Amino acid sequence: MTKSLRLRGAVLSLAILAVFLLTWQIATTPAKTTAPSGADREYAELMGNSATGAALANGVPTPAQFASLAWKQLSDPFYDRGPNDKGIGVQLAYSLGRVALGYAIAALIAIPLGFFIGMSPLLYAALDPYIQLLKPISPLAWMPIALYTIKDSATSAIFVIFICSVWPMLINTAFGVAGVRKDWLNVARTLEVGPLRKAFLVILPAAAPTIITGMRISMGIAWLVIVAAEMLIGGTGIGYFVWNQWNNLSLGNVIFAVLMIGVIGMLLDSLFANLQKKVTYAE
Amino acid sequence: MPNEVLRRSAPFLKIEGLSKRYRDDLPPVFENINFRIDRGEFVCIIGHSGCGKSTILNVVAGLEEATSGVAVIDNKEITGPGLDRGVVFQNHSLLPWLTVEQNIAFAVRSRHPDWSRQKVAEHGARFLEMVGLKGASRKKPSELSGGMKQRVGIARAFAIEPQMLLMDEPFGALDALTRGVIQDELLKICAATRQTVFMITHDVDEAILLADKIMLMSNGPHARLAEIVVNTLPRERNRETIHHDPQFYRIRNHLVDFLVRRSKLIQAAGPATGEEAPVIATPGVESGAGGDAGPRAGRVKIVARGAGSPC
């Protein structure tokens, strides 16, 4: 039953893809090829696309053009020909590096701090107004402040990632730790379990599913924010790549980058979904 | 009997003038509770919901503080939880992310931090075998039935070899059949280990089967320890034959009568004035009310047991 459901789901998925590709094909097939004007041809040559067809540079590519572009990008993802011409892999690596760094710093601060907040009702009451105030601020709103104080744009991007991923982790950790069942804590108390052993062997595993959920939400937000942050700071990264290709009017590359952002985001999320499955326990 | 004098002078657990008030504007749940438990005794406490049975047990466990009064165990005042008291929780409270053997190992390692991994595992396996769950050692609690979980909880409490076992309605959530099986097991284990037990129950039959003394609490608020019923049935009790003993129904009727009638009357009579001691009753051997031969016969039994206990 479930197997056939999955199979039917897959078939339907493929059908949707086919309809989408067909629509795309119909929408992008030019009614008649018009000779590109002088300026356009010059621009196309600049982009190195004059031979393969102006459509690639000038408008939305057809599925076939897009496929060949994607293949070209994916077959050599790590080339580096100067600041404005790097492979998609290099750009993604820059973005992932920033996310990893900002996220790791956020986790290192948010999880222990969340632990203490969850354990101490006093700390919870004291810090809650600040958390509630800071949490809804768009991470990008911090950008000017970050740029002014930190002065370095690359560090500012990492700071923005940090600030956006810290809240869900902090709140979920505190919530998970505060919500550990009293019975389990009583078990630890009657067994005279020391504070460190209690923290790592009782509270941490009990709160782990909630903590990982927070980490998963944070990672999702961080990956959303990095694209916008890199559009602002420029230089490297997938966000900059998208913006640069838009300035080049290379819509094919923009679409390709957008697709890659989706794929990476999906992989990151499934990584955390797996982790979540590992720490989840049935009561 | 010199033995009796010795035993009376130093009870293992001594509760004196215990009372609990959750809010200042409300009457105390219970007040002026006094009782003693000797080593090797199995004591049940019965009373209606809200009389504070669990609170008393939690005070003994060190998980809760009384508003006034003291609890002394082995000549030391109880100020917090400790490994000398093993607790079997009402809802088993196993750690769901650990397997059965890991749950028990967690307790054993808390008791003996210096033991090797192998020694901890062997020790735990012994107690798991004792409750008949050797085959389930690698399962998670969620894969076990309610009765099995409760047995793991009992094994965990026994595995730290506490001086006293505290059980808060351990079989309350089980079906009658499972309950019977585990009661039998508990009876066997306690007979073999001479474990001192303090247990809360709602089940009159369970109390008669397991306990040497049954403490009856009047209704709360202003609950107090009204009576201590000595179980005069021979200690080698078993579920299949116990109801053939004529004492069984006398004790049972006495307990049920208390629960359905007298517990309310005592509450209605007003708060405790302070010094009244609980009545010691031996309905099992009494022919009528206030028979004098009864209490003595009951005490002799306890003394005989006390002499044999390893203390």
Query: Across the beta sheet with B164-168, what order do the strands follow?
Result: B85-88, B164-168, B196-200, B42-46, B213-217, B225-230, B279-281
pLDDT at A184: 95
Which positions 130-189 of A are in contact with B (Cβ < 8 Å)? 181, 183-184, 186-187, 189
Contacts of A118 (CB under 8 A, 6+ apart): A124, A173, A174, A175, A176, A177, A178, A179, A207
Digit-coded pLDDT (tens) for A251-282: 899 999 999 999 999 999 999 999 999 999 98
pLDDT at A31: 63
Confidence label for A50 from pLDDT (cuts 50, 70 and 90): very low
Contacts of A186 (CB under 8 A, 6+ apart): B63, B81, B87, B89, B93
Work out the minimum CA distance from A121 to partner chain B, whole angstroms: 19
B81 contacts chain A (CB < 8 A): yes
Q: Which of A253, A243, A242 is nearest to A70 (CA)?
A: A253
Residue B45 dihedral angles phi and psi, to the nearest 5°: -125, 130
* Average pLDDT of the residues of chain B: 84
Rounded-to-integer distance, Cα A51 and Cα A11, Å: 38
For strands B42-46 and B213-217, give the pairing. Answer: parallel
Work out the minimum CA distance from A200 to partner chain B, whole angstroms: 12
Mean pLDDT for A236-249 is 90
Number of Cβ pairs closer than 8 Å across A and B?
Answer: 59
Confidence label for B9 from pLDDT (cuts 50, 70 and 90): low
Considering only the beta carbons, identify the residue of B63, B82, B95 that sits closest to A192. B82
Mean pLDDT for B244-264 is 89
Q: Which CATH number fits domain B13-84+163-281: 3.20.20.480, 3.40.50.300, 3.40.50.12500, 3.30.2270.10?
A: 3.40.50.300
Buried residues in A192-221 as b, exposed as e (16+ CB within 10 A) = bbeeebbbebbbbbbbbbbbbbbbbbbbbb
Q: Which of A48, A57, A56, A43 is nearest to A81 (CA)?
A: A48
Work out the minimum CA distance from B2 to partner chain A, whole angstroms: 36
Q: Is the dihedral of CA A255, A256, A260, A266 positive or negative?
A: positive
Identity (one letter) of the amino acid at B122? E
A99, A226 in Cβ contact below 8 A? yes
Mean pLDDT for B271-281 is 70
Q: Which of A36-40, A126-130, A133-137, A236-240 has the lowest mean pLDDT?
A: A36-40
A82 contacts chain B (CB < 8 A): no
Digit-coded pLDDT (tens) for A164-206: 999 999 999 999 999 999 999 999 999 999 999 999 999 999 9
* Residue A39 or B162, more confident: B162
Evaluate whether ipTM surpasses 0.90. Answer: no
Digit-coded pLDDT (tens) for A6-26: 999 999 999 999 999 999 998
pLDDT at A32: 56
* Domains recognised in chain A with CATH numbers: 98-233+263-279 (1.10.3720.10)
Rounded-to-integer distance, Cα A88 and Cα A70, Å: 10
Considering only the beta carbons, identify the residue of B96, B140, B160 that sits closest to A191. B160
What's A194-262 look like in SS3? CHHHHHHHHHHHHHHHHHHHHHHHHHHHHHHHHHHHHHHHCCCCHHHHHHHHHHCCCHHHHHHHHHHHH
B159, B120 in Cβ contact below 8 A? no
User: Percent of chain A scored above 70 by pLDDT?
Assistant: 89
Q: Is the dihedral of CA B153, B155, B159, B162 positive or negative?
A: positive
**A99: enclosing H helix or E strand:** helix A88-119
CA distances from B89 to A224, B29, B207 (A): 47, 21, 17
